[in-house]
Amino acid sequence: MTEHGYSSNSLAEAVNRAIERLTGRPGGLDGSSVRAWKAGRVTWPKSAARKALEDVSGLPAVALGFVPRSRSSSIPAPPQQEDPDMKRRTLVGGIAAAAAAAAAAPATASPRRIGMSDVNRLNKRFAEIIASDHRHGGQLGIEQRAAALADEALNLQNAGSATQRVRSSLYASAAAFRSSAMWAAIDGRRYDVAKAHMREAQALAEMSGDQSIKFRIWSHAGTMYRHMGRTADALAANDVARNLHLTRRDPLFASLGLARQGAIQGAAQDRADTRRAFEQAQDAMLRADPADHRPVWMLAFYDQAELDSLALTGYLALGDYPTAEYHAHRCLSALRPHMVRSRAITMTRLAHAQLAQGDADAATATAMEVSADAATRHARVSRMLQEFGAALRATASGSTTIQTWIEHTATWRMAA
């Protein structure tokens, strides 16, 4: 950098000003931060600094020689023959020169102004993705579209000037889109990818300062760890969501936090805690004012049916099959008609709860109500039905119900 005749301090100042444009608060970097990048002690700057650096340089962080953490699956690796260390040293030096020059020159063109209408346009496209998720779920297409939309929201941040309110809304939207990508990856059991989405979403949510989106991301994280069989991590992540101030302001958020805690405690075989969590979740839901203002994603999915669906999951994991069945019936009667995927999952779980109580005929009749479309196209449903078939053959051997089930599943293969 000294060969360019500029200090690390001048680059740090330029990045601090760019952070201020992004977040409304100047960044706190100094020359030692820049030296840490150059020396490779920091290989992937925090997201605000990274975005600011991209702003200042006009180049993506990867092109500057930085190496993302755990993002190998979603970001193409730089070509082998290029040495990221070399690039980072020379390019960061080059930016210092460019930044110093830009600081000296008068502004040439004024960038366009970004407004709430831009934010609303993105949110409308997001709503279409959410609707598609409720129909199909867990699919790679949904994940990729949501992640692409999050990047689009961030690009918009950098496309011109905006008020603090617009900036915060854009970060909140980008965080929401990323967390939907995370959810699709969890649903599709792609946990490494889900974790990469989670980290990005968490950083964006912090920049937005939006409590409800922070709640959503940590609540999703708890569910992800539950699916991974890591119940201690699941409870800790879910607690982050439950401890947000929002849950004291709005009992509906408190209810969702408690219901997901119940599902985790069921997986951890804590019988008494599971029961208490679901009772408290139900109380909180009854206290919630339906007229309160809430984000679209919350209104779209958390209601009495979802609470019963989580209770079904928790009691099934505990092996309390009669209570699981009770919540399955309640869920099915309250489920909104467009929740096609939820209905298929609930039907399948009900079939398991009935079979575990020894009623093979009722269980098979329930499993046969799952649509062929859901049974063949939704990976989670088809896996659970595969498990149902195995449990049926092992526990009801010799009954005619098995033949009925075999013939029924054969029709899917013809349809698929």
Partner 1 sequence: MTTAPAIDLRTFTTLDAIRGDLLDVYADVRAPLLHLPNYAVTAFGERLDRHGAEPGFTTVLAYVDGHPVGYAYSNTIEHGDRYWQRTSPTPAQKYTERPAVALKEIGVRPAWRKTGTARRIHDALLATRDEPFVTLMVNPAAGDGKVHALYKSWGYEDIGQSQPSPASPVLTVMIRTIR
Where do contacts with partner 1 occur on this chain (CB under 8 A)?
189, 191, 227-229, 231, 268-270, 316-319, 352, 356, 383-384, 386-391, 393-395
Instruction: Quote the least distance from Cβ 390 to partner 1, whole Å.
Output: 4
- What tokens appear for 366 in the block? 């329930």
Instruction: Quote the least distance from Cβ 72 to partner 1, whole Å.
Output: 15
Instruction: Quote the least distance from Cβ 268 to partner 1, whole Å.
Output: 6
Looking at the Cβ atoms of 191 and 326, the one nearer to partner 1 is: 191
Looking at the Cβ atoms of 338 and 383, the one nearer to partner 1 is: 383
The owner of tokens 């408290």 is 280
Report how far residue 184's alpha carbon sits from residue 187's, in angstroms, rounded to the nearest whole number.
5
* Count of beta carbons in the 10 Å neighbourhood of residue 414: 7
Instruction: Quote the least distance from Cβ 263 to partner 1, whole Å.
Output: 13
Looking at the Cβ atoms of 301 and 388, the one nearer to partner 1 is: 388
Instruction: Quote the least distance from Cβ 318 to partner 1, whole Å.
Output: 6
Looking at the Cβ atoms of 168 and 265, the one nearer to partner 1 is: 265
Instruction: Quote the least distance from Cβ 274 to partner 1, whole Å.
Output: 12
Looking at the Cβ atoms of 166 and 277, the one nearer to partner 1 is: 277
Instruction: Quote the least distance from Cβ 181 to partner 1, whole Å.
Output: 19
Looking at the Cβ atoms of 339 and 356, the one nearer to partner 1 is: 356
Looking at the Cβ atoms of 272 and 394, the one nearer to partner 1 is: 394
